[in-house]
Amino acid sequence: METKTCPICGIEKPISEYHSYYSKERQKYRIGNYCKPCARINANERAKIHFQNNREAKLQYSRDYRADEKNKEKLKVLSVRFKQKYREELQDCYVRDRLSMENSIPASYSRINPEIVEAKRLQIKIKRKLKSLQDGKE
């Protein structure tokens, strides 16, 4: 029986324990360098490294994007526009923000107690109504 020693685990194994692949250059089947289990571990490692590199590259891209002056302006405009929308529509995130700033109720608490958000939303609505009445708008 033909055997081969795997350089990773150092165990001499029959060649059936190795992957074979077709080499175009040599026009014949060749036996892989590493035994099947070691080749699999290696592939996982490679995938992990590839994933990490990819993640780094993506993070770097978004860092570069935000650091770019002309993008900074664009993002600022977007963020102001979003906040305005949240404020006008009294969306949950905006109401939760006010709760944490004005009433010291953390968002983690108001998120699981929606009735508090509802009450605060009503309070803000009443205040706005009173304000617009005082301003003589209505």
Shortest distance (Å) from residue 22 CB to Zn ion: 21
- List residues binding Zn ion (CB under 5 A): 6, 8-9, 35, 38
Element counts in the chain: helices (H) and strands (E): 5, 4
- Pick the closer one to Zn ion by CB: 6 or 99: 6
Q: How far is the CB of 60 from Zn ion (least distance, A)?
A: 35
Within the chain, strands assigned E span: 3-5, 12-14, 18-23, 28-35
Pick between residue 42 and residue 52 the one whose CB is nearest to Zn ion. 42
Shortest distance (Å) from residue 30 CB to Zn ion: 17
CA dist 42 to 15, 16, 38, 78, 115, Å?
A: 18, 18, 6, 45, 53
Between 31 and 107, whose beta carbon lies closer to Zn ion? 31
